[in-house]
Amino acid sequence: FEMIDKNVVIIGSGYGGSVAALRLCEKNIPVTLLEMGLDWEKSGQKFSSMINPGHSAAWLKTKTIAPFFNLFSLEKYTGALDRLDFEHIKIWLGRGVGGGSLVNGGMAVTPKKEYFKEVFPNLDAEKFYSKYFPLANKELKSNVASEEFLKDCSFYKFNRVGEEEAKKAGFKTVRVPNVYDFNYMEKEYKEEVPRSAFAGEVIYGNNHGKNSLDKTYLKKASATGKLEILELHQVNHITQNPDQSYSIDISVINTKGEEIQHKIINTKKLILSAGTMGSLELLLKSKAMKQLPMDDKIGKDWGNNGNFMTGRNWVKAFSGGTGFQQSTIPVGGIDHWEDKDRPFFVEIAPLPMGLNVATSLYLMVNKLKKYGEVNYDSVTQKLQLNWDQSHTAHMKDNAKYFLRTMNKANGGTRAHLLFHNGFGADVCYHPLGGIVLGKATDNYGRLNGHKNLYVIDGSLIPGTIGVNPFVTITAIAEYCMEEIIEKDFA
């Protein structure tokens, strides 16, 4: 048992936590960053591919947890991908230094300005589009693949088929930026460097090519010499002290997930960046167990960002399918957002199974019609999520319409081989909200009723942003930290 005093602690090393760390360290403020997952780079271990899952494939599970085809047994290990299973929804998350950036598809999408204004009426949209979004994209090293390369590359047949078919069905397609380095990818294609996107690596981590946060924000923050990263530090709960400082109860774990040490860290200022589900769990649990003062808005306005997965089988089955080899990095989208009755955005997702499955996979992003709510059950000591089919019914209607239109124009069937009935209503990669900016916090992430407790992560976005969310999470973190550092750290 150890008791330690610090000035500034951040919990979680995803997008919010990494931005906070860099901006504080740059101002010469020493920061301790607590992360429950592994520091993969330091560990020297390799990430595993989708067709050969190893240590990085799952957080303390004995079977793989991909969205489908979980045929593989695993040794229990502190892997990079986790999945939280609720009755009607499964939520995937990244664990490790870099958070979700280790396991995500790298799609770096700036939301539509009109929708951003609708979601955040209190924010200065002009300033976001002239300052914070460009800054986020620059720091994240967002880049775009060359059309020349995509036109011929055999690994992007799935995308060419996806775009051609969408156009034929009357949909508009868009090129999507990514943080995977496309210069590296071109070399990968020519086999001049080790392959990663072309070797089935993504949701269990990329060994090369991807500019995850450990290569961008966290690398810069570490270079200041002011950042201390403590891996395998799982925060259990938080207590507020009479002098408005906080005590953090921590289990230091080994790679089997067993506690090897118990620590208390006291800190003057605490930044909660444990991701939407992590920050909600810590706040609601600490309220239930340790009487941490809490606004009753916490847990409200939660959403799945309209995530709805679906697909089509028998796609070009008699003329070559979607390709034997597939890049794991998506580059195409279908923009159907302007349709008033059925607005949606679709990611043309790869299915890198090492087989030509003649199947197209789509991750739809819809609007929300109804918010979910997150609570903490003190008896089971677990998060509870109020979310069921009534929340996703309109997303399913949109998916039906999308598939019907695509199949009518191109042939193919609903993907019964991927999902029950062809619809993955329960697949969520983008949990958002619950600690909403300007509601549960002030307009800069200062938690209501607290002086020294901040929330900086996806939970600030009220359940929906219309596109893949990490560029928005990063931009909001930049905006909040600018104000917080100027006013509260002067």
Q: What is the largest CA-CA distance in the chain?
A: 71
CB-nearer residue toward ligand FAD: 234 or 356? 234
CB-nearer residue toward ligand FAD: 155 or 316? 155
Q: Which of 331, 329, 313, 321 is nearest to 406 (CA)?
A: 313
Q: Which residues bind ligand FAD (CB under 6 A)?
A: 11-16, 34-37, 92-95, 99-100, 103-107, 203, 234-235, 273-276, 278, 282, 429-430, 457-458, 468-470, 473
Instruction: Write down the catalytic residue from 188, 231, 347, 478.
Output: 347
- Least Å from the CB of residue 22 to ligand FAD: 13
> In sequence order, what DSSP letters do the residues of 226-270 get, joined into one string?
-EEEETTEEEEEEEE-TTS-EEEEEEEE-TTS-EEEEEEEEEEEE
- Give 471's contacts (C-beta < 8 A, 6+ positions apart): 108, 109, 110, 111, 133, 136, 137, 140, 142
Q: How far is 130 from 116, CA to CA, in rounded Å?
A: 14
Instruction: Write down the catalytic residue from 201, 430, 450, 478.
Output: 430
- Continuous segment of H or E residues that includes residue 313: strand 307-313
Q: How far is 174 from 334, CA to CA, in rounded Å?
A: 6
Amino acid at the residue 240: Q
- Least Å from the CB of residue 335 to ligand FAD: 16
Could you tell me whether strands 360-366 and 373-377 are parallel, antiparallel, or unpaired per DSSP bridges? unpaired
CB atoms near residue 384 (< 10 Å): 15
Q: How far is 101 from 206, CA to CA, in rounded Å?
A: 10
Active-site residue flag, 430: yes
- Least Å from the CB of residue 450 to ligand FAD: 18
**If 0-12 CB within 10 Å is exposed, 13-18 middle and 19+ buried, where does residue 487 land?**
exposed
Amino acid at the residue 277: M
State the virtual CA torsion across 195, 197, 201, 207 in degrees, nearest 10: 50
- Continuous segment of H or E residues that includes residue 302: strand 300-303
CB-nearer residue toward ligand FAD: 55 or 316? 55
- Least Å from the CB of residue 154 to ligand FAD: 22
CB-nearer residue toward ligand FAD: 18 or 392? 18
Exposure b/e, 304-328, CB count within 10 A at least 16 = b? bbbbbbbbbbbbbbeeebbbebbbb
467 with 475: CB under 8 angstroms?
A: no
- Give 137's contacts (C-beta < 8 A, 6+ positions apart): 108, 110, 177, 471
299 with 373: CB under 8 angstroms?
A: yes
- Least Å from the CB of residue 298 to ligand FAD: 15
Catalytic residues: 347, 430
